[in-house]
Amino acid sequence: MANNGDIVVIMDSGFNSKNPYASCKLPAAEIIPKSAAPVISDPSGLWGIDGSIVLYGIIADILLIVPLLMYLLIADAASNNELRAHHMTYINMLYSAYAPLGISWWIVLADDSEHARTVVRTGVEQAGLGPYALLWVGMTTWFMQYKDSYNYFATLVLIEWIWAIIYPVVNILLIVTHYHLSPPMYAWLEKAPMKANPIDDPTPWSAPSQYKTSVTTDAVQNLLL
Task: Tell me if 181 sits within 8 A of 174, measured CB to CB.
Answer: no
Distances (CA, A) of 86 to 34, 125, 133: 46, 27, 18
pLDDT at 31: 44
- Polymer length of the chain: 225
Residue 218: band (very low, low, confident or very high) from pLDDT cuts 50, 70, 90: low
For residues 73 and 35, is the Cβ–Cβ distance under 8 A?
no
Distance from C-alpha of 73 to C-alpha of 78, rounded to nearest angstrom: 14
pLDDT at 18: 54
Give percent of the chain above pLDDT 90: 46
Q: Write the single-letter amino acid at 132.
A: Y
pLDDT of 28 over the 50 cut: no
Q: Per-residue pLDDT averaged across 130-153, rounded?
A: 82
User: 178-206, pLDDT tens digit by residue?
Assistant: 999 999 999 999 999 999 888 988 888 88
* H/E element, 223: helix 219-224
Q: Phi and psi of 56, rounded to 5°?
A: -70, -35
CA distance linking residue 114 with residue 125, whole number of Å: 17
69 within 8 A of 61, measured Cβ to Cβ: no
**73-89 average pLDDT score:** 72
Q: Which of 68-77, 93-102, 156-165 has the least mean pLDDT?
A: 156-165
Residues 39, 194 contacting (CB under 8 angstroms): yes
Window from 52-56, 97-101, 151-155 with minimum mean pLDDT: 151-155
Q: Are 160 and 146 in contact (CB under 8 A)?
A: yes
Those residues whose C-beta lies under 8 Å from the C-beta of residue 22, and which sit 6 or more positions away, are 16
Residue 36 CB contacts under 8 Å (≥ 6 apart), including other chains: 114, 190
Q: Report the run of H or E that residue 165 belongs to, with start and end.
A: helix 158-191
pLDDT digits (tens, 9 = 90+) for 110-129: 999 999 999 999 999 999 99
